[in-house]
Amino acid sequence: MKKFVSATCIAACSSALLLAASVSTVNAADWPTGDVRLVVPYAPGGTTDVLSRRVADLLKDALDTNVIVENRPGAGSTVGTGRLARGGRDADHTLLMASPGHTIGAAIYPDLAYDPVEDFVFIQNIIDIPNVMVVPASSPYQTVVEFIEAAQDKNMAFSHSGVGSSIHMSGELFKTLTGSQMTAVPFAGSGAALPALLGGDVDVSFENMPTVYSHIKSGDLRALAVTSAERSPYLPEVPTLSEIGEHNLDQFVTTAWFGLIAHNSFPEEGYEAMQTALDEVMERQEFLDFAEQLGAQPGQVEGEEFKQFVIDDLARWEEVAQQAGISQ
C-alpha cells in the first residue's frame, strides 16, 4: 500500500512538473496566450482614449489576438493606474496607456498607494505631442520675449483644461522659470477653454498641438513657441521655447507623451512580443497618418530609456507642483 501511495505521489509530482514545464514552454514560444487588455485611465473620448483605440486596433493584427480597450477613469489617471499596480491574475496580459497624468498625478498626490516607477514595467513610448504657447490673434505680443517682459508688470491669465493637466503644468513651469506674473484659469477640458482664448478673455495658453493647430493655420491664434525639444515639422517657422535662450527657458522641454506600461510582474516574453509588435505598428502607414493628424511624432524611447524618461519627468513635475502650491 505504502509503495502504491509513494508511486502515485511521484507520478503526480512528475506530471505536475511536466505540466508546468509545458506551460512555460507555451509561454515562451507564444505570448499572448489569450486576449490582451489595454487599460485607459481616462473616460472615453479624450486624446488618450482615441489614441489607445487606434493603437489597439493595429496591435490586434500585430499580436494576432483581441486587444480589448477598458476605460478606468478617475482622479486624474490615478484610479486606473492604481488598479494596474495592484496586479492580479490578468496582470500578465494587461497594458496601460500612460501619459503625463502618470507623472503629474504622482507629483500632485504624494500619498498614492503605488510607486509610479517601481511598480511598473515600461514598454515603449508611442507618441509625443508638443504643447504650443498660443496667444489670441488680437494680442499685442509677437514673441515670447515680448510676452515675458510685459508679464513682469502686468498679470497674465492663462487657460488650462483642468488642474494637473499637461497644459496647466506647462503654464506653471513657464511662470516659475521666467518669473512672470500669471494666474491659472481652469476650464472643464480644452473644448471649454478654447472660446476664452479665441475671444481674448485669457492672454495665453499652452495647449496641445491638435487642439489649436487649425486655429493657428486660420490665423485666429498666434503660436509664439512650441514646448518640444525640436521644432515641430507641422509648425516649422515657430521656435521652441528652449531655443529662445533667455529667462531660463533653455530648461523648458515638455511634451504630452503617451506610452504603454504594465505591472512589474509582466512576463519577459510578453515584453519582447510587445516590443516587436509595437515596432511593427509604429511603421504602419495608418499609424503615421494618425500621428500626423495629431501633430504628433512617433515616440523615441523604449524599455530602460523610457523608464529614465519617466523618472526625470516625475522629478520635474514634483518641483513645479511644490512651487505652484498644487501639491496635496
Q: What are the residues binding other proteins (CB under 8 A)? A: 43-47, 49-50, 53-54, 56-57, 70-75, 78-79, 82, 108, 155, 157, 162-164, 183-189, 191-192, 194-196, 198-199, 201-202, 210, 213-215, 217-218, 220, 286, 289-290, 293-294, 325-326, 328
Beta bridge partners, 131, equal: 208
Residues 6+ apart with CB under 8 A from 283: none
CB of 106 vs other proteins, minimal distance in Å: 14
CB of 274 vs other proteins, minimal distance in Å: 20
Nearer to other proteins, 86 or 217 (CB): 217
CB of 276 vs other proteins, minimal distance in Å: 22
Nearer to other proteins, 162 or 303 (CB): 162
Pair 116, 103: CB distance under 8 Å: yes
Nearer to other proteins, 185 or 225 (CB): 185
DSSP state of 93: G
The DSSP bridge pattern shows strands 120-136 and 255-263 to be antiparallel
CA distance 8 to 3: 8
CA distance 59 to 57: 6
Nearer to other proteins, 2 or 218 (CB): 218
Nearer to other proteins, 201 or 319 (CB): 201
Per-residue CA distances from 324 to 108, 114, 226, 295 (Å)? 11, 24, 22, 29
Residues 6+ apart with CB under 8 A from 236: none
Q: 3-state SS of the chain: helix, strand, coil percent to 5?
A: 50, 20, 30
Which class for 198: exposed (0-12), middle (13-18), buried (19 or more C-beta within 10 A)?
middle
Nearer to other proteins, 63 or 185 (CB): 185
CB of 173 vs other proteins, minimal distance in Å: 16
CB of 43 vs other proteins, minimal distance in Å: 7
CB of 113 vs other proteins, minimal distance in Å: 8
